[in-house]
Structure 1
Amino acid sequence: MNDAAEKFIANKDKPSFWLLHCLGWMTYVFIFTVDNVFFYRDFNKLGFEVFFPLVLSGIFAALLTWPLRYIYRQCWGLASGWLIAAITLCSLIVSGIWTPVKNLAMWYFYEDFDVLSLIAGNPSEGFRWYMLFMSASYAFFMIFVWSTLYFGINYHFRLINEKKLYIEAVRLSHISQIKMLRYQINPHFLFNTLNAVSTLVLRGSKDKANGMLIRLSTFLRFSLDNDPEKKIRLYEELKALMLYLEIEKTRFDDRLSVKFEIEPEAEALLVPSLLLQPLVENSIKYAIAQMSSGGLIEVTAKCQDGYLKMEVTDNGPSQDNAFLDTSTSDKGQTASGHKGVGVQNIVDRLNVLYPNKHSFNIVRGQIAGYRVQISIPMEYSCTVN
């Protein structure tokens, strides 16, 4: 994960990196100043003046750890073992640079140690070279703590963000189910369906009437039993869609034709429940119902470049309908004034379930009708049938 991951974990509740970065190293200076002045005063010959070399040490550490932020951004997608190895390696490198720098700063103030003589190769008699790196483990520990805090804080707010997205997805799913049920069992839908059944009975087509009632009850049962919080296989979504279309085909007779082009691999992929039905519903309401004959709805699904691409196309008349006055963008946003039943709800659910990883586009046909295009990441079900 790179910039997309950084955008994903970023939210308005997360404190500024620079605020936490500066506060962290200021805390380091404060704690070690207190330690040297009050707890290690027998060994501290500088007194309160130890504050100055510690400030320099904190500034050096802040400057050295700042680039780690950009290095760690590239490590979000690593496995746990590789991530720990990367943190350890970076901590070793930075502590290896910080240790001599902070020690030189401390020794410069401590008993007027001559740093220039050391650099020139003429250290004082009491100097021991191992002293230059004797605090390497301490420096490594401090940088390692900074690194773990960086990931810990970011993972914490990433978890909060994911929880918010999940809660929003559940809320939108419930809203979607309520809207769908309200439309599916509203007086118009039931009246049209039952009126078609009555007509079939009067014509003596009892088998067709019985079949239509069975499909209606099965479709409504699917809507009631389906858990809106869970994704379902595209195969199950298409089964419910076919039930709905068979009911509508009975109503519209030869005015409605349906064509499916579904890749076998796509049928096993997971999709949000009741994703395609509102789009087909709009096509019937605003396109097929306006035609006296020759109505066609095509539903296609295919896998391409790690994405499941779905389309719902109709050949309705070129006029203002549910798909007009809709602006789309690269992120699948639609205008709030969209008139289509359930379409805006679909867009909202996609934004929550697949942030920055989906597309939703509505395209006017070259001759007639409209094409609704949805692209979501491929996701396989863990259930084996």
Structure 2
Amino acid sequence: MSFRQAFGEVGETKPSFWKLHLLGWSFYVLIFTIEYAAFNSSAANANYLILFPLLFSGLVGGLLTWPLRYIYGHLSKGAPLQVLIVIITVCMLIAAIWTPIKNLLLMYFFDNITVYDLYRGNHPNDFHIGELFLTITYSFFMIMVWSCLYFGINYHFKLLYEKQLHLEAIRLSHVAQIKMLRYQINPHFLFNTLNAISTLVLRGDKTTANGMLARLATFLRFSLDNDPEQKIRLNDEIKALMLYLDIEKTRFAERLNVKFNIDVAAENLLVPGLLLQPLVENAIKFAIAQMETGGVIEVSAKIHNNLLHLTVADNGPNSDSIPSSKEQLRKESQQGGVGLKNVVERLQVLYAENHQFSIHKSTLTGCVVNIVLPAELPA
């Protein structure tokens, strides 16, 4: 997922201001209509008449609170105390405007008293102008609730956005690390292959050298065409490994024999690209190259308990320098070669603790590398 896609997802999940604004004030009208009807059931006509002043009251409240989104929008970088003072001040100001309007609406609908009547003095004898500001505290808290919801909702989605940025940064960091580790393979392998080609040219074996160059081009094209971040099917990984082995068989001829034991059910599972090649290259360098004849490398893949078990074993001479753990492998990477260290680090980045890697001496001769991965199928 790209940064732009991540930003789009966060933006799409956040409802628009107008939708929330309309729903909030509609809820206000609905709740107080139900409340009035429930506590004034004896009044024959009051139950539906109260809906009209509440509708106008909600409309006025919505119009008065609408500009607050622009005022509050400039408070995000202010000091907390200043923000609180501004919020309380504007809430009091709006409550002082909204309360008399609400009371005038109620007087008009229930007592047929208009603003003009009040101006002319045509009102009940016990009426006092202060009655227009009754329930101002209630109005103040209603506006405060609106303000708290505004800040709360915006803060919630701001946290989601910041979290998405953080996850995107981690993802990009992992991608960069994976690419760095994957691209270590090509120069390392390329150096060995070009050395072999150079030797063939010096010996005058141009035909073999040309064939080796053609195979090298095919292998590198496969490597460059595959995104290091993406996993590939095990079957495709085996094909890439065979491209590499075609090159190495040119160097070692009958000294190198490779046996494959791949379960059919495992062929479609996903693995990191060029995972097996460094392991086989390491076996060739530290086992087959040390033998004059009869070198064998076995590559197997099996499914057990919904896990993919990959094994690369050779029959080379045992050596005390074989690292027995990932920790030792990191410390003694020069003894184990760049390939093994590269594989260990890539698996750690891609699977964290959800994988197993082990390397040990075989019972008779040689070295065995075991990798256990989750059994992932293509989407």
TM-score under structure 2 length normalisation: 0.54
**Which residue in the other structure is 1:337 paired with?**
332
**Which residue in the other structure is 1:192 paired with?**
196
Consecutive unaligned residues of structure 1, counting only runs of 5 or more, are: 1-30, 40-147
- CA shift, 1:363, in A, is 1.5
Given the alignment, which residue of 353, 357, 360 partners 1:363?
Answer: 360
**Which residue in the other structure is 1:226 paired with?**
226
> Is residue 220 of structure 2 the alignment partner of residue 216 of structure 1?
no
CA spacing shift, 1:255–1:200, aligned 2, 3 Å: farther
> Is residue 351 of structure 2 the alignment partner of residue 346 of structure 1?
no
Partner-residue secondary structure (3-state), 2:244: helix
**Which residue in the other structure is 1:380 paired with?**
377
Structure 2 contact 255–291 (Cα < 8 Å) conserved: yes
Give the Cα separation in 2 of the matches to 1:153 and 1:369.
57
Amino acid at match of 1:175: M
Structure 2 contact 281–339 (Cα < 8 Å) conserved: no
Give the Cα separation in 1 of the matches to 2:377 and 2:160.
26
CA spacing shift, 1:248–1:229, aligned 2, 3 Å: same
Give the Cα separation in 2 of the matches to 1:253 and 1:282.
17
Amino acid at match of 2:370: Q
Structure 1 contact 176–342 (Cα < 8 Å) conserved: no
CA spacing shift, 1:312–1:346, aligned 2, 3 Å: same
Amino acid at match of 1:190: L
Give a deviation string over 1:339-373, Cα, whole Å, max 9, x none.
22222222122112112210111111111111111
Larger Rg belongs to: 2
Partner-residue secondary structure (3-state), 1:368: coil
Give the Cα separation in 2 of the matches to 1:160 and 1:373.
37
Number of residues of Structure 1 aligned to a counterpart in Structure 2: 252
Give the Cα separation in 2 of the matches to 1:371 and 1:163.
38
**Which residue in the other structure is 2:306 paired with?**
306
Structure 1 contact 196–250 (Cα < 8 Å) conserved: no
Structure 1 contact 232–273 (Cα < 8 Å) conserved: yes
Structure 2 contact 323–359 (Cα < 8 Å) conserved: no
Give the Cα separation in 2 of the matches to 1:158 and 1:289.
51
Give a deviation string over 1:37-70, Cα, whole Å, max 9, x none.
x99xxxxxxxxxxxxxxxxxxxxxxxxxxxxxxx
Give the Cα separation in 2 of the matches to 1:294 and 1:153.
65
CA spacing shift, 1:158–1:370, aligned 2, 3 Å: farther
Q: CA RMSD in A?
A: 4.3
CA spacing shift, 1:366–1:253, aligned 2, 3 Å: same
CA spacing shift, 1:155–1:355, aligned 2, 3 Å: farther
Give the Cα separation in 1 of the matches to 2:294 and 2:358.
25
Given the alignment, which residue of 163, 166, 182 partners 1:177?
Answer: 182
Structure 2 contact 347–355 (Cα < 8 Å) conserved: yes
Give a deviation string over 1:14-47, Cα, whole Å, max 9, x none.
xxxxxxxxxxxxxxxxx9xxx9xx99xxxxxxxx
CA spacing shift, 1:194–1:351, aligned 2, 3 Å: same
Give a deviation string over 1:123-147, Cα, whole Å, max 9, x none.
xxxxxxxxxxxxxxxxxxxxxxxxx
4+ residue stretches of structure 1 with deviation over 4 A? 151-162, 194-202, 208-213
CA spacing shift, 1:153–1:350, aligned 2, 3 Å: farther
Q: Say which is worse superposed, 301-310 or 153-162, in terms of deviation.
A: 153-162
Partner-residue secondary structure (3-state), 1:317: coil
Give the Cα separation in 2 of the matches to 1:273 and 1:287.
24
- CA shift, 1:173, in A, is 2.3
Structure 2 contact 219–243 (Cα < 8 Å) conserved: yes
Alignment of 1:63-212 (within 5 A): 162-163=167-168, 165-186=170-191, 188-193=192-197, 195-196=199-200, 201=205, 212=212
Structure 1 contact 269–378 (Cα < 8 Å) conserved: yes
Q: Say which is worse superposed, 335-344 or 291-300, in terms of deviation.
A: 335-344
CA spacing shift, 1:154–1:363, aligned 2, 3 Å: farther
**Which residue in the other structure is 1:121 paired with?**
none
Give the Cα separation in 1 of the matches to 2:163 and 2:302.
32
- CA shift, 1:193, in A, is 3.7
Give the Cα separation in 1 of the matches to 2:204 and 2:233.
34
CA spacing shift, 1:168–1:312, aligned 2, 3 Å: farther
**Which residue in the other structure is 2:255 paired with?**
255
Give the Cα separation in 1 of the matches to 2:264 and 2:205.
38
Amino acid at match of 2:173: E
Give the Cα separation in 1 of the matches to 2:365 and 2:163.
45
**Which residue in the other structure is 1:275 paired with?**
275
Give a deviation string over 1:294-327, Cα, whole Å, max 9, x none.
1110101111112111011011101245xx2342
Partner-residue secondary structure (3-state), 1:325: coil
Amino acid at match of 1:172: Q
Partner-residue secondary structure (3-state), 1:299: strand
CA spacing shift, 1:262–1:326, aligned 2, 3 Å: same
Same amino acid, percent of matched pairs: 45
CA spacing shift, 1:227–1:315, aligned 2, 3 Å: same
Structure 1 contact 303–309 (Cα < 8 Å) conserved: yes
**Which residue in the other structure is 1:47 paired with?**
none
Alignment of 1:12-31 (within 5 A): none
Q: As a proportion of its length, which structure holds more helix?
A: 2
CA spacing shift, 1:380–1:198, aligned 2, 3 Å: farther
- CA shift, 1:217, in A, is 2.1
- CA shift, 1:234, in A, is 0.9
